[in-house]
Amino acid sequence: MGQAKTLTERELKRVLEYIAAHRHSARNRAMVLLTYYAGLRVSEVAALKYSDVVAADSTIKAEFQLAPEQVKGGHARTVFVSEKLRKELAAYVKTLKRRDQEQLALFRTQKRDGFSSNTLCQHFHWLYKRAGVEGASSHSGRRSFLTNLASKGVGVRVLAALAGHRNIATTMVYIDAGDDQKRRAVDLI
C-alpha cells in the first residue's frame, strides 16, 4: 500500500459533512480534526486522556504533552493546539456526560471503552470510505497537516518537531509538492 492520500479542503469538508449526518458526530469530528489540525497519529488520538487536553478550569489547553507511552518511538512531545482546534475540542467536550473523567480516554467507543489504535485506524478507514474519499486512510489527516504547513513556508525542522520526528528525512516523506506550489516556486525567480 502506498502513501496516505493528502486531503484537499473539499475532501475534508465532504468527510465532515458525512460525519455530521451520522451518530457520534461530535466525537468523530474532533478525532479527525486532531489529525488534520494538529498532525496527531491515530494511535496518539486513541491514547489521549481527558486530562491531557482539558485543563483544571475545564478549558482546552493551548498545548499538551504526550507521554512516551502515547507516542510512536517512545519520545515524549508537546502538541500545540490552534485556536480553531481548541474551539472544536471544546464543542466535543461539552457533549460528554460525566465531568469526573480526568483519567478516562478522551474518545470512547459505544461500549464506553477507549479505542485501541487498530480499532480507531479501522474506524477512520470506514469514515473516509463512506464519505467517498478514495485513497484516504488514518494517516491522511497527519499527512495533510504537514503538507499544508510546508506549502505555507514552514521549515522542515519545525515540521519535524511538530510531527515528533527525530529525523527530517522521515518528515520529508509526508510532504506532497503540488502543482500550485511548483508554480509559486518558479515565480519567485
Whole-angstrom Cα distance, residue 143 to residue 29? 17
How does 57-77 read in b/e, with b if 16+ C-beta sit within 10 Å? eeebbeebebeeebbeeeeeb
pTM of the model: 0.89
Q: What are the Cα distances from residue 6, in Å, to 25, 105, 134, 146? A: 22, 28, 11, 9
Question: CATH code at 113?
Answer: 1.10.443.10
Q: Is residue 170 part of a domain?
A: no
Residue 133 lies in a domain: yes
What per-residue confidence (pLDDT) applies to 175?
81
Range of the domain at 78: 9-141
Residue 64 lies in a domain: yes
Helices (H) and strands (E) counted in the chain, each on its own, are 10, 2
Bridge-partner residues for 77, per DSSP? 66
Residue 184 lies in a domain: no
Asked whether residue 4 is domain-assigned, the answer is: no
- Among the listed residues 189, 166, 145, the one whose alpha carbon sits nearest the alpha carbon of residue 35: 145
pLDDT in tens for each of the 189 residues of the chain? 568 899 999 999 999 999 999 999 999 999 999 999 999 999 999 999 999 999 999 899 999 999 999 998 888 999 999 999 999 999 999 998 765 566 689 999 887 788 999 999 999 999 999 999 999 999 999 999 999 999 888 989 999 999 888 888 878 887 877 777 777 778 888
Burial zone of 103 (CB within 10 Å; 0-12 exposed, 13-18 middle, 19+ buried): exposed
Q: What is the per-residue pLDDT for 16?
A: 98
**Please, what is the angle between helix 25-38 and helix 140-151, to 10°?**
40
CB 174 within 8 A of CB 143: yes
Is residue 159 in some structural domain? no
The verdict on residue 52 lying in a domain is yes
Decide if 143 contacts 135 (C-beta within 8 A): no
Looking at the structure of the chain, the number of domains it has is: 1
Residue 133 near residue 11 (C-beta atoms within 8 A): yes
**Does 81 map to a domain?**
yes
State the pLDDT at residue 97. Answer: 76
